Amino acid sequence: MKKVIIRTDASTNIGSGHVMRCLTIAKNLQKQNINVKFWMKELPGHLINFVEHEGFETINSAEKADLYLIDHYNIDEEWEKAHRLFTNKIVVIDDLANRPHDCDLILDQNSLPNFESRYDGLVPQHCIRLLGPKYLIMRDEFIEARLNLKERNNQAERILVFMGGSDPTEETIKILKALSKSKSSFEHIDIVVGNGNIHKEEIKHICLKQGYEYHCQINYMARLMQRADFSIGAGGSTTWERCYVGLPSSSTIVAENQAFTTIHADDLGAVVNLGWHEKVTVEMYVDLLLKLKNGEVDLNQLSKIGLSLTKTVSPNPWIEEILELLI
């Protein structure tokens, strides 16, 4: 049996996105009878228990494997060269294109003006480049949701709020304050947080008090997105998940790696970019809620562009390329 080790981390600072997309890859590999292990550090807000609950063994040091898959902003060419002692092939998942890699395949699913050339000089000549939104990493639930898209009527009655697993900039708290200050009322509001959110108990209490539906560390995000009319979210990989299922949304930039993709997605008309988190106030969220209620946001257009941008010939085409490396 072939063996793959995934090196990634989650924490209150890093967030949960790296681990969640690696789980998607791991489950696709597992379906091909490949033994997958996660190498993770026990950082504050880690998701080691969650990964184990999903059926994967976790380790805390290097082991021999047929392939290493790395999804980590603090790992570069130096680390990768050193770990060639343990593996024949290396796959890197990246968003930043800000450091050199010693890898055999690089996957960057983001849509940017220069996405086809942004890794020039950063990866070896032999490296396979899987770049752009046609290589989106999508869980089965999202693939199924895209096959069963809901009819949209340009009215926002069901609002979904998810500001990332850890939400270190406390956007969820801001939005809850905006909801309490706003004169706009909505039929249903879903509030989603991750285990890494240090305010999750406070958020849960507010939701219970206000009648909002509270969700923590869930595996049914696509179902919530299918039901929602609009999502207030952060930048990053969940931007593409929302676009993939045709859910109109706003994005607040909460980390450096989200800036270029969020700005570009806004330029394309796929999301409403609210800007950098430190400049996004409670009043700005109140204004967004009012515009949604008054029909001042073209939900149908946002949905249409998001769907077009994330169109692929087949779901998760990257899996075949990774499997080729394991032959």
Model pLDDT for residues 87-133, shown as the tens digit of each residue: 999 999 999 999 999 999 999 999 888 888 999 999 999 999 999 98
Predicted confidence band of residue 12 (pLDDT cuts 50, 70, 90): confident
- Among 4, 73, 80, 78, CA closest to 39: 4
Residues 151 and 295 in one domain: yes
Residue indicated by tokens 């989200």: 258
Helix (H, G, I), strand (E, B) or coil at 309: helix
Same domain, 229 and 244: yes
pLDDT one-digit tens code per residue, 184-197? 899 999 999 998 89
Residues 173 and 262 in one domain: yes
CATH number, domain of 146, equals 3.40.50.2000
Catalytic residue among 18, 72, 83, 264: 18
Q: Which residues contact 277 (CB under 8 A, 6 or more apart)?
A: 169, 171, 252, 253, 254
Rounded-to-integer distance, Cα 35 and Cα 325, Å: 15
> What was the pLDDT predicted at 4?
98
Tell me: do 305 and 202 sit in the same domain.
yes
Q: Are residue 289 and residue 159 in the same domain, yes or no?
A: yes
What pLDDT does 292 receive? 97
43 lies in the same domain as 160: no
Question: Cα–Cα distance between 95 and 107 in angstroms, integer?
Answer: 8
- Which helix (H) or strand (E) segment is 78 a member of? helix 77-82
- The residue range of the domain holding 35 is 3-136+312-325
156 and 305 inside one domain? yes
Q: What's the CA gap between 242 and 266, in Å, rounded? A: 13
Asked if residue 241 belongs to a known ligand binding site, the reply is: yes
Domain check: are 174 and 120 in the same one?
no
Q: CATH number, domain at 316? A: 3.40.50.11190
- 170 lies in the same domain as 293: yes
Whole-number Cα distances in Å, 87 to 18, 74, 81, 90, 191? 21, 19, 10, 7, 42
Q: Is the dihedral of CA 73, 237, 205, 180 positive or negative?
A: positive
**What confidence tens digit (pLDDT) does each residue in 49-68 have?**
999 999 999 999 999 999 99
SS3 content of the chain, % helix, strand, coil (to 5): 40, 20, 40
Q: List all residues 6 or more positions away from 284 whose beta carbon is below 8 Å from its beta carbon.
A: 274
187 and 230 in a single domain? The answer is yes
Specify whether 131 is located in the same domain as 98.
Answer: yes
pLDDT digits (tens, 9 = 90+) for 279-323: 999 999 999 999 999 999 999 999 999 999 999 888 999 999 999
In the annotation, is 46 catalytic?
Answer: no
Q: How far is Cα 36 from Cα 81, in angstroms, rounded to an integer?
A: 21
Q: Is residue 77 part of an annotated ligand binding site?
A: no
Residue 182: phi and psi, rounded to 5, are -75, 145
Number of domains the chain is built from = 2
Contact 166, 45 (CB under 8 A): yes
Work out whether strand 230-234 and strand 249-253 pair parallel, antiparallel, or are unpaired.
Answer: parallel
